[in-house]
Structure 1
Amino acid sequence: MMALLVVGIFLFCIAAGVPIAFSLGLSALVYLLVAGVPVTVIPQTMFAGLDSFVMLAIPAFILAGNLMNAGGITNRIIDFANALVGHIRGGLALTNVASSLGFGGISGTALSDTASIGSVMIPAMKRQGYGSGFSAAVTSISSTVGPMLPPSLPMIIIGTLASISIGDLFVAGAIPGVVLGLGFLLVTYLIAVKRQYPKGRRHSVSEVGKSFFGAFWALLMVVIILWGILGGYFTPTEAAVVVVFYAFIVGKFVYKELDLKEVPGIMMDTLRTTASILILVALANTFGWILVAEGVPILVADGILSLTENPVVITLLMILLLLIVGMFMETIAAIVILFPVLLPIADSIGMDPIHFSIVMVLALMIGLSTPPVGVCLFVASQFANVKIMTTVKELVPYFVIAIIVLIIVAFVPSLSLFLPGLFE
């Protein structure tokens, strides 16, 4: 009964437009007061949720992404992507998706991808005759590929929660992420051909090579992360710090676009982003503690397992739950709350924790482009100056391909487990 109270208050707050973090905190506070539990539980559980050395990687990776972005990373990745696919029908839209594949490995977050790529690509697409809704849709959905690739903040959160190797999670998401990106490229191309969107000129081999070397130092950052972590040279947290220094050196001395006067502003942006993420994680941990105290994970597990013992049906039910939750809840909060709930169910049907982690992140990423709480959807629509529902209509074929890829990844474990297996 008390579990229904806390969940009901949380959902009411969300429906009333209260930010996710405050909704979690307020519902937890009401529960503690009604249940007669000391409110000191809130700071204790918040601290416990953040008391991990690995969590230090979050602000460092965010800072590295901001430094690389200020140092010219976005334009160079876009130029390289345009040199590769810009000559195909709908080339600028294809460049948008291809840029997200490259930039996602730099930022680690879908929202950073949407803001950085969208600010450049959406105005350019509109100038070339692409519809505003389509431009926003491509930018929004393609940015969801980013968190599947290293350095992925959702993967860091999961690794911290379940003591799973973050290096393994990083490489496990690579193949599913690339498959998802290729699916988005296919849909974009088919729509571009149907609507006869423009195509750019074909770049020469020398131009492609030049654009590659322009983006080389940016793309090398991902290699450094994986080589360092998987090779055992440094931990994910140490890797993040190394990448910060690398990003500064490349932006200042290689690309020579990073102005020292910008650094204080970059630091402040990093602090704001980090604070919003960590407050969310901390309060979500408090909310999750309450759910565990009320036995909700056991109730959910028993409820699903009582419906069926068929692993296929159970997997589909978990996917459906994640898709629905992703529509209403921010990704990191959903992970902190639901991962401990669903992992035992996944384990009961023989699902590897790494495989389940990839399925969970992929399912929740789709929610970033769905109403009513899809942050990538809102940001892209604002850049395009178009109504949300106009963008949503353009997103329908992308949702179809995303769900198809999700189901394939869920039922073909080797897509997630092949690369981690190579490093055992």
Structure 2
Amino acid sequence: MEALVLFALLIGLLLVGVPVAIALLLSGAVSLLASGIPVNILAERMLGGINSYTLMAVPFFIAAAVIMNRSGVTRHILDFAYCLIGHRRGGTGHVNVLGSLFFSGMSGSATADVASQGRMLIPRMMKEGYDAPFSAGITAAASIITSIIPPSIVMIIYGAITNTSIGGLFFAGIVPGFMLFTALIGLVFVQAKRRDYPHGERLNWSQTWPVFLKALPALLAPILILGGIRFGITTPTEAGVVAAVYAIALGILVYREFSIWNLGEILQEAAVATAVPMFIIASSAIFGFALSISGFGFVVGDFMKDVTTNPIVFMLIALAFITVVGLFLESTSALLIFIPLFAPLATAYGVPDIQFGILMIIALMMGTLTPPVGLQSFIASDIAGISILRIDIWGAILCILLISLLVIFVPWITMYLPSTFI
């Protein structure tokens, strides 16, 4: 009963327009104070929720994403992607997807990807004759590759709250990420044929080579980050520091898009961007504590045991549940509230923690696409100047669901690389 009141209070606050972090904090605090929990415990829980060495990676990767956007990295990557694939029918749509694949190895943030690439590519696509819903939809869908292929901020948060190996999650996301890339390239190909979208100019090697050299320093970032983790040179947190320092070096020494005197302004932007997810994490610690006090976890566990003893069925139910939650709740909040309930159950069912982690991350990121509250779709549709309800996203959603089912039924997809390299 307490859990129902807690969720009702949260939903009521969200419906009247209270920001997610504030709604989580208020609903959790009211429930705990009504249960007689001392108010100082609330402050301790909020501080404890963000007092993590692992979570220190989050501000560094966000800083790296902000710096790379300001240093011209996105532009050079998209130019190189155009040289490789822009000549095909629907070329700019293909460039959109390939650019996200390249960008994924550097920023770890789907929001940074859709904001930076969207401002460059959505107006360009619409000018070339692509319809606005498709331009926004493929940009939003491609952006979540950034959260599945490492380094990924959502993987860092997932690993921090479930004690799952972040290095293992990083390597486990590579194959599903490339599968999503392939599926979206196929989707663009089919839609371009059906709708007769334009193709770009084919460039020869002499034209491509200088563009490649310009983009090469940025393309080396994933090797630097994953190589450091693979060979034990850096932890994932230290890799975030390496990514931020490397981004500064690119901006100042290689591309010369800003000077050291601009760093204060850029780091201030990164601090503001970091404050939002960290506040959500702190607020979710209060809500999650209230949920645990209510006994909701035991209810979920007993329900699952009554429904099935099959780990495949359990993963299918978890996928369906998180997919539905993603329709109404922001992904970070959903991760922090519900994953601590499902992760121990996955272990009890014998599901490898890395396989389950990648499945849940894919499901959570799918929630950032689905209207009415999908963040990536909202940003892309806003750039395109259309309602989020008009965005052409459902073909991509089908692709993501199929990949999720493959992750469930073919464990090799997520387990081969971690078992080989970690």
TM-score by length of 1: 0.97
- SS of the residue corresponding to residue 106 of structure 1 reads coil
User: For 2:389 and 2:162, how far apart are their aligned partners in 1?
Assistant: 37
Structure 2 counterpart of 1:402: 400
Alignment length, in residue pairs? 422
User: For 2:118 and 2:143, how far apart are their aligned partners in 1?
Assistant: 9
User: For 2:229 and 2:328, how far apart are their aligned partners in 1?
Assistant: 34
- SS of the residue corresponding to residue 12 of structure 2 reads helix
Which segment is superposed worse, 76-85 or 111-120?
76-85
Q: CA deviation at 1:145?
A: 1.1
Structure 1 counterpart of 2:243: 243
Residues 234-313 of structure 1 correspond to what in structure 2 (within 5 A)? 234-313=234-313
User: Which one-letter code corresponds to 1:422 in the other structure?
Assistant: T
1:202-253 alpha-carbon deviations (Å, 9 max, x no partner): 1212333332222111121111111111211122222211222211111111
Structure 1 counterpart of 2:389: 389
Residues 172-183 of structure 1 correspond to what in structure 2 (within 5 A)? 172-183=172-183
Moved over 6 A (4+): none
Q: CA deviation at 1:276?
A: 0.8
Residues 325-344 of structure 1 correspond to what in structure 2 (within 5 A)? 325-344=325-344
1:135-176 alpha-carbon deviations (Å, 9 max, x no partner): 111111111111012221111112111222211111111110
1:383-414 alpha-carbon deviations (Å, 9 max, x no partner): 101122211xx212111111111111122111
- SS of the residue corresponding to residue 393 of structure 2 reads helix
Q: CA deviation at 1:261?
A: 4.4
Tell me if structure 2 keeps the 8 A contact 1:409–1:416.
yes
User: Which one-letter code corresponds to 2:154 in the other structure?
Assistant: P
User: For 2:53 and 2:315, how far apart are their aligned partners in 1?
Assistant: 32
Tell me if structure 2 keeps the 8 A contact 1:67–1:258.
no
Matched, 1:352 2:352: yes
Structure 2 counterpart of 1:321: 321
Which segment is superposed worse, 192-201 or 26-35?
26-35
User: Which one-letter code corresponds to 2:162 in the other structure?
Assistant: A
Structure 2 counterpart of 1:25: 25
1:71-99 alpha-carbon deviations (Å, 9 max, x no partner): 11010111111111111110001111111
Matched, 1:138 2:153: no
Structure 1 counterpart of 2:420: 422
Q: Supply the RMSD in Å over aligned alpha carbons.
A: 1.3
Tell me if structure 1 keeps the 8 A contact 2:322–2:360.
yes
Percent same amino acid at aligned positions?
37
- SS of the residue corresponding to residue 106 of structure 2 reads helix
User: Which one-letter code corresponds to 1:409 in the other structure?
Assistant: V
Residues 157-176 of structure 1 correspond to what in structure 2 (within 5 A)? 157-176=157-176
Q: CA deviation at 1:109?
A: 1.1
- SS of the residue corresponding to residue 144 of structure 2 reads helix
TM-score by length of 2: 0.97
Q: CA deviation at 1:46?
A: 0.8
- SS of the residue corresponding to residue 107 of structure 1 reads coil
Tell me if structure 1 keeps the 8 A contact 2:57–2:241.
yes
Structure 1: runs of 5+ lacking an equivalent: none
Q: CA deviation at 1:117?
A: 0.3
- SS of the residue corresponding to residue 220 of structure 2 reads helix
User: For 1:334 and 1:171, how far apart are their aligned partners in 2?
Assistant: 23
Which segment is superposed worse, 340-349 or 183-192?
340-349
User: For 1:234 and 1:311, how far apart are their aligned partners in 2?
Assistant: 34
User: For 2:333 and 2:66, how far apart are their aligned partners in 1?
Assistant: 23
Residues 66-105 of structure 1 correspond to what in structure 2 (within 5 A)? 66-105=66-105
Tell me if structure 2 keeps the 8 A contact 1:150–1:170.
yes
Tell me if structure 1 keeps the 8 A contact 2:326–2:364.
yes
Tell me if structure 1 keeps the 8 A contact 2:90–2:199.
yes
User: For 1:164 and 1:61, how far apart are their aligned partners in 2?
Assistant: 19
Structure 2: runs of 5+ lacking an equivalent: none
